[in-house]
Structure 1
Amino acid sequence: MVSLMRAAIVKVFSTKYSLTLPAAALNYIEQVLIENEIPEDEWIVGLEFWAKEYLKGEESSSLVSLPALKKAYESLQLGTTDDVATADPSEVNVESYFSVVDAFDMPPVHFDAVRGGFVPGRWKPSVAGQASSRSAFLRERWGIIKEIILRNENFTPPALGGHDRANYLKLTSIRNLLGRAGQLFLLFGMLSRDPEGKLCLEDGEGRVVLDMQDAVPGEGLFTEGCMVLIEGEYTLEETIRVLAMGHPPSEKRDVARGLHGHVDFLGGGAMSLKEEQKYLPTIQANTQVSFVILSDVWLDHPRTIPALRRMFEGYAEAVEYRPMAFVLCGNFSQKGWEGEGGLKRYTNAFNALTDLLFEFPLLHSSHFIFVPGPLDPWSSTTFPRPAIPSVFASRLTQRIPKARFVSNPCRIRYFGMELVICREDLMSKMVRNLVGVKKEGEADMKRYLVQTILDQTHLSPLPISIRPTLWEYDHALRLYPMPSSVVLADKYERYELTYEGCHVFNPGRFVGSGSETGGEFEWSMYYPATGRSERSALSLE
C-alpha cells in the first residue's frame, strides 16, 4: 500500500506539476494520508488540491519545502481557499495549531540596519557567545527602534515640498552637536553611565552627558539601558540640558506583520499578515478554548496541593470547557532549592504534583507547561533562563503525556496569535533602577511598566550589569513584532490592561497573602477568542 501511495504522490506532485519532493516532504504527505485514513480512490483528488494550494503560496518553489507544504495543508483544513468549500470554523481541529516555543529553539534572526529588515543568523547561537555579540545585540535593538521611529508619521517628511515639510520632527546624531552650543536638538539613544558615573546618552556614534535638572519625563519608566528620545539644549560645557524625555513610539502588530510577515521569528514557519487574518473566524468561533495561567505555585507550601486539587476538580467536571493548556510559572518552592535538604524537598514537591495530576485523567488531553522562576534550579542571573532540569521533570513528563518544561521566557503560538510568557520580578527591578519618572502622585506604575516594555520592544530594557542577558539569545527577549498578548508573571499585585492592541496581564501569586490561614488562591484565564484575560480564584474555607 505504501508503494501505491508513494506512486500516487509522485504522479501528482512530480509528474503533473514538476515539483521536486525531498524525503521529508514525501514522508509528511504520506503521514497525513495515513493519519486521516484517506481512501485510496480519493488520493489523487486530495493531492491535486494540495499541490494547487502549495503553488499559490508566497514561498512556493520547484523544490518543495516542508513549511510551505504544511501551510498549504493548513489552508485546506481551514477551508480558506477558492477551491475548497468553506469549513465550519468550530469543527477545525484547533489542537494542531497550538505549539509552545522554547527561547533556546527560536531561530536567530538579526536586524540588518543597512537593509532595514531581518536576516537569518549565520551560525547557531552559543550560551558563551562571541566577543562581537557583546555589542551587536544592543546595536540591533537600537536599529529596530530607530526604524520604528523613522516610520512614524511625526518623523516622516511629506513626499512633496511645501510648508508642512519643515514641520516634521528631525533626529540629530550626537557627533553632529559639536560647535552648535545654544541650539535645541532632538536626540535618540540609550541611557547609560560614563566612567565617572554621570548619566549619558549613547547613539552608536558618540556619547553626551545629560543635565537632568530641568528634565520633564514623559509617561513610562526610564532606566539605564532604555532607548529614549530626548529634547534638549546643547551647552558650552558640551552637555545636553534635558528639557523633555520620552519613550519612542510603538508600532502595532498589524503594521509590523505587514512589513515582516515573510520572516520566521518563532521557528514554526513564516506567516504573512494575510494568512494570519484567515485564521480569525476560526479563533473567534472556538470560544471554549482557554489557557489557565498560574504564577508562584509554591509546591512546598502546605495549602498549595489542596488548592490545586480543588482547581483541577473544577476543570475536570467542565466537560465542554476544559482548558487547552495549564501554564504553571515558578517559583515552585517558597524557600528555593539551595541549602540543606533543598534538592530533596524540591524533588518531593514535584513528585506530589505528579501524583496529583495522575488523579485527573480527564485533564490529560490538556497541555501542562512549566516555566521556571528566579529561585528554581539551576538558579542563574542570566536571561533567558533554561528549563527546569530533567532530573526533576522526568517522572512528571513520563506519566503526563502533554507535560513540557520550557525556558523563561517562552511563547505560545495559537493559529496566528502569539502569547509571550515571562516569569520575572520586573516591576521591582525597574523601580530600583529608575533615572526618571513622573511625580509619584501622577504615576500609574502598572501602565507605565507595560508601556515601557512594549515601547522598548524588549522584555528587559535594563543594562547587562543589572540584568545580565545571554548576548546571542537576546532575540528571544524581543517584543517585535508586538505579540498578541504578554504575561508578566510578577510577585507584584495582579493587573490586566491593553496597550496598542496588546493585552498584558499579571496573574498574581497563586499562593497569595493570607493563604496560611485561609485566604484566596488566584490565577488568570486567557481566552484567545477575545484576546482578553479574567481573574479566577478559590478559597479552601
Structure 2
Amino acid sequence: MNSDPVPSSSPAFGTPAHPIRLNKLKSIATRTSILPILLPAATLRPVAFRTFTRKHNLTLSSPALQSLAAFVGKNCGSGWREEGLAERVLDEVAKSWRKAGGGVIVEEGKGASLKAILQTLEGNMSGGRIVDSKLTPREGPGRTTNAGGIPSLQPSNSMVSNDHEVDELEDTLAHPRHWVKVIEAFETPRLTYNAEKKHFEVLKFKPSLFPNPSHKTTLFRDRYNIIHQRLLRNESFQVSLAAGGIPALRRSGSSFVRSQAYRLTPVANLLGRSGTSHLLLGLLSISPTGELALTDLTGSIVLDLSHAHMIPENGAWLSPGMFVLVDGVYEEEENVRGSALGGNTGIGGAIGGRFVGISICGPPCERRDTSLGMNIHEKSQDISSTGGFGWVDFLGVGSERTRGSRMRQIQTRSLRDVHDGMELHRRLKIVIMGEVNLDNMKTLDALKKVFGQYNEMPLQDRPVSFVLIGNFVQKAIINGGGQGGSIEYKECFDMLALVLSDFPSLLQRSTFIFVPGDNDPWSSAFSAGASSAIPRHAVPDLFTSRIKRAFANANSQLDRNQISEPPGEVIWTSNPSRVSLFGPVHDIAILRDDISGRLRRSAVSVGDSATTEMEDVAPSRNATAGLEGDDRMQALEQQSIGNNSNQAYPSTVQSARKLVKTVLDQGNMSPFPQSLRPVLWDYASALQLYPLPTAFILADSEIAPFCVTYEGCHAMNPGKFIPDGDFSTMTWIEYDILKNRGRVKEDRF
C-alpha cells in the first residue's frame, strides 16, 4: 500500500492521513464486466448433456439444470456459446462434483452440494472465465488431496496453472521409473459402495485401530454390495421380460452358460414358499447352533450341501467367510433349531427350515475393462455413457478415464531410448522373490548370483524394480532377545546391505521394494508367527538403516546431471500393498499370505467331494517350473483329455488355478471370517480386488511357484526363493509388465 502524497489538512492536530489503495483500484479497473442474460434451461441442455453425460458420465436433474442455466446466464453473459465459456464452466462444475464425492445424478441431496460448488466457483470467476488455477489442482507425478478427500496426483514442489505446463512437466519425466509408485495399504483411498446411488464414495470419518463395532458390519456389507452389483452387471443376470421360470445353475469354465436370465432371491423372501427353487447369494457362515448357514442383508438360513455339486467340479475353494451362489430348494419344517416356529424369524435373523443346495459356486469374476466401463485396448478412448467406474480413483493415482489415455502416451514415449545414435526400446521387467530368509547364509549366496546376472545385462534390459517378499527370517521375531531377538534381526539386513553394496549399478538404476511377512516385526512380537491382523505396517526403520545407507552411497557416485534417470531407491511397504506404473495403466497388487493352507484347513465339503480332494497334499515344486500360465492351462486340458496316468502335473496346475480363481472371484485378498484372519475394519477397503488389478502377486510359500492368467489378471506366486530340502537351487519370477506375463525362473548357485 503506497503512502498518501496529499498531506493532512490539519497537521497541528495530527489528523490521520487516509492513503489511496492503488492496488485495489487497479484490480477493480482491470476486472471485465459481464452483462447478465436470461438463459432458458432448454437452450443450455445440449451443452450440459455433452459435458455432464458424455464426458463425465453424470445425469442432470431438472432443478440442477435450472440452477446451472441461471448461473451461466449471470456469470458468462452473451458469450456463453460463441466464446465457449459455458462449456468450460460446466466442465469445472462436473469435476468439482466428482471430487466432492457426488453420485451419478447431479442433484441437491445427501452427497455433494451443487449450491456450494456454484458459490465457490462464482468467487473465482472474472469475465466469464475461471481465474483461480488452484481451484482444480491438476494431476502429475506428485501427490496431493483433492476436495473429495481422495489423494490425487500433482507435480511435486510446483503449482501448475494450465494444461500446457502439465504437459511440459510430464515430458521431462521420460524414464519409466519416474512413474513407479508404491502405495501402502494405509494410504489407499478408503472407498465404500453406496447401493442407493450405485457409486463409490469416500469415507469421511478418521480411521482408527479401535473403531465403533458397527464398522465390522459395514465391512461385510460393503463386500456383499460390491459382489451384488457385479452380478447384476453380468449378462447372465440381465432379466428379460420374456424370460420365464428359473433355470438350473450351470457354469462352464470361468463364465456362465447363458440360457435364461438368473434371478436372485433374498433369504427373507423364502418364507411361505416351501418346495420352490431359488437362487441365493449370501455369505457362508457358522450359525449359533454350529450349523452351516447362508446369510445376506435380509436374514440367514441353514444350508444343506450333502446333495450339492460344485460348478465347475473341484474348481474353487469354499469356506466360511466367502460369498457364494447356491441354487436349490427351500424346505420348511415345523421344528427348527434356533427358531421358535417353523417359517418365522429366529435367532440372529435366521428363518425356519433349511435350504437344500443342488449346485453351488463362487460369484463370477468381472474383467478390469468391464468394471471401468471402457475397452483399454482401443486407441481412441470412448468416454461416452458406457457405465462402469472409470471416473473413480481407486488408488489415488488418477482414474482411468482422467489419466489413462495420457499415461499411455507417456509410456510409449518413455520406452524409446536413443543411445549412440540408435533407437532402443526399453523393457519393463520386475524381478519377484518370495520367502527371502536372510538368516540362511545360502540365501545371501543365491542373491549374489541373481543380482550378478541382472547386473551384466544392458541398461535397457535391466529390471525397473526388484520385489523382495518376507518372511525375512525363518522363525518369528519375539521381542526379548535370544536367537529370535531384535539385534539378530538387524544383523540379517546388515548382511544384505553388504551384498547389495557389491552391485552399485543396480542400486543406482533400480527400485527395491520390501514386503514383510508374519514373522517380521513388530506384529510377530505378539503373534509368535501366527496370522496377525492385516493390513500390517512395513518393517520399522530401526532395522533398515544400513541398507538405506548403501543406496545413498551408490547414488552419490553417479552424476545425475548427465542422465535423465531418477536415482535408485529402496521402499519398505506394508502387507498388502500396490505398485502403480504410469498411473492407472498398470496396477500390481502384492500380498504375502499362506492362504492355500488356510483354505485347506477351513474348506467346506460339498456332496461327495470330501473323498475326491486332490489338494490335501502340497503339490510338487518342479512340476510347473518351465511353463507360463496359458501353456499350463493347455497342458492341463490335454492331460485330462488323454487320461494320462501321471497325476502330479495336472494336480499342480489345478491347485494353482483353484487358488487364483477362489481369491479373484471373491474380489478380496482375505475372504475369511475375523477369527481365521483378522482384518483392521477401517482399512478393509485396501484388501479389495475390485476392479481386478492388471497383475496380482500372491506370495504363498506352501505351494509351488506358478504364473496363471484369469479374466485378464495375471496371478503369480514366487514360492520360496530357496525350496525346502534343496540348498543349491533358487527360484524366482521375472514379470514382463508390457506383455503382462510372468515366467518362473530357476537356477543353481
**TM-score under structure 2 normalisation?**
0.60
Ranges in structure 2 where 5+ consecutive residues have no aligned partner:
1-29, 33-86, 97-120, 122-129, 142-152, 157-162, 247-259, 334-352, 374-387, 416-424, 553-568, 615-639, 641-650
Read off the aligned partner of 1:406 and give its amino acid letter.
Answer: T
Partner of 2:393: 264
Partner of 2:540: 389
Per-residue CA distance 1:291-316 (angstroms, 9 max, x = gap) = 11101111111211111112112211
Partner of 1:448: 658
* Offset of residue 67 of structure 1: 4.2
How does 1:98-497 map onto structure 2 within 5 Å?
98-158=180-240, 161-162=241-242, 167-218=260-311, 219-237=315-333, 238-258=353-373, 259-268=388-397, 270-273=398-401, 275-280=403-408, 283=411, 285=415, 287-320=426-459, 321-338=461-478, 340-342=482-484, 343-364=486-507, 365-378=509-522, 379=524, 380=527, 381-401=532-552, 402-415=569-582, 416-436=585-605, 439-440=612-613, 444-491=654-701, 492-497=703-708
8 Å Cα contact 1:184-1:234 kept in structure 2? yes
Partner of 2:44: none
Distance 1:470 1:192 in 2: 20
User: Sequence identity of aligned pairs in percent?
Assistant: 34
Q: Secondary structure at the match of 2:177?
A: helix
8 Å Cα contact 1:107-1:267 kept in structure 2? yes
8 Å Cα contact 2:391-2:402 kept in structure 1? no
Ranges in structure 1 where 5+ consecutive residues have no aligned partner:
1-13, 17-51, 75-80
Distance 2:502 2:316 in 1: 46
Partner of 2:148: none
Distance 1:122 1:93 in 2: 36
Partner of 2:72: none
Change (3 A) 1:106 1:112: same
Distance 1:423 1:179 in 2: 47
8 Å Cα contact 1:290-1:528 kept in structure 2? yes
Rg larger for: 2
Change (3 A) 1:335 1:189: same
Change (3 A) 1:101 1:236: same
Per-residue CA distance 1:435-478 (angstroms, 9 max, x = gap) = 14654359722111111111111011111111111111111110
Distance 1:200 1:56 in 2: 49
8 Å Cα contact 2:706-2:744 kept in structure 1? no
8 Å Cα contact 1:283-1:529 kept in structure 2? no
Read off the aligned partner of 1:234 and give its amino acid letter.
Answer: Y
Change (3 A) 1:216 1:362: same
Read off the aligned partner of 1:177 and give its amino acid letter.
Answer: L
Change (3 A) 1:294 1:67: farther
Partner of 1:65: 136
Q: Which one is further off, 341-350 or 133-142?
A: 341-350
8 Å Cα contact 1:376-1:388 kept in structure 2? yes
Distance 2:140 2:468 in 1: 34
* Offset of residue 263 of structure 1: 1.7
Partner of 1:96: 178
Q: Which one is further off, 439-448 or 415-424?
A: 439-448
Change (3 A) 1:521 1:177: same
Read off the aligned partner of 1:178 and give its amino acid letter.
Answer: L
Q: Secondary structure at the match of 2:281?
A: strand
* Offset of residue 360 of structure 1: 1.5
Equivalent position to 1:498, from 700, 709, 712: 709
8 Å Cα contact 1:510-1:521 kept in structure 2? yes
Distance 2:573 2:361 in 1: 35
* Offset of residue 225 of structure 1: 0.6
* Offset of residue 279 of structure 1: 3.8
Partner of 1:531: 740
Per-residue CA distance 1:213-259 (angstroms, 9 max, x = gap) = 10112231101010011011111221001111111111110111222
* Offset of residue 90 of structure 1: 13
Distance 2:432 2:136 in 1: 36
Distance 1:84 1:226 in 2: 45
Q: Secondary structure at the match of 2:372?
A: helix
Q: Secondary structure at the match of 2:544?
A: helix
Q: Secondary structure at the match of 1:136?
A: helix
Change (3 A) 1:302 1:272: closer
Number of aligned residue pairs: 482
Distance 1:90 1:105 in 2: 27
Per-residue CA distance 1:102-133 (angstroms, 9 max, x = gap) = 10111211111111111011123222222211
Distance 1:538 1:202 in 2: 49
8 Å Cα contact 2:138-2:166 kept in structure 1? no
With CA pairs under 8 Å and 6+ residues apart, which has the higher RCO, 1 or 2? 1
Per-residue CA distance 1:69-116 (angstroms, 9 max, x = gap) = 667989xxxxxx999999x99993222211000101112111111111
Read off the aligned partner of 1:458 and give its amino acid letter.
Answer: N
8 Å Cα contact 1:287-1:527 kept in structure 2? no
